[in-house]
Structure formats: structure tokens, C-alpha cells
Amino acid sequence: MFEPGGDALEVLKTKEVVEQFELAADAFEHVADVVQTIAVKES
């Protein structure tokens, strides 16, 4: 990916995909926090 003569467009696409995965992971973490909060309140 970072080799000389590499495709800059490919790097940008990969960066965008990684950023979207990070957003998804953050969203799942938020859901887990909410579920944990509910579980603690109900126990």
C-alpha cells in the first residue's frame, strides 16, 4: 500500500474503510454500555 509508485486512490479508499470500521466499533461500544446499564438497573 505504501510502496513507491503506490496508488494514492487505493490509500484513500483504505483510509475511508478503516474510518468507517472505527465508527462502527464506537457505535457497538455505545450499545454495549447501554445494555450494561440496563442490566445493572434490572438486577
Based on the structure, what is the number of domains in the chain?
A: 1
Q: Which domain holds residue 7?
A: 1-43
Q: List, for residues 21-43, the tens digit of each pLDDT value.
A: 999 999 999 999 999 999 999 98
Cell numbers 474503510 correspond to what residue?
A: 17
Instruction: Encode 29-38: b = buried (16+ Cβ within 10 Å), e = exposed.
Output: eeeeeeeeee
DSSP string covering 1-43:
--STT--HHHHHHHHHHHHHHHHHHHHHHHHHHHHHHHHHHH-
Q: Tell me the pLDDT band of 1, cut-offs 50, 70 and 90.
A: low
Confidence (pTM): 0.72
Residue 22's CB: how many other CB atoms inside 10 A?
10
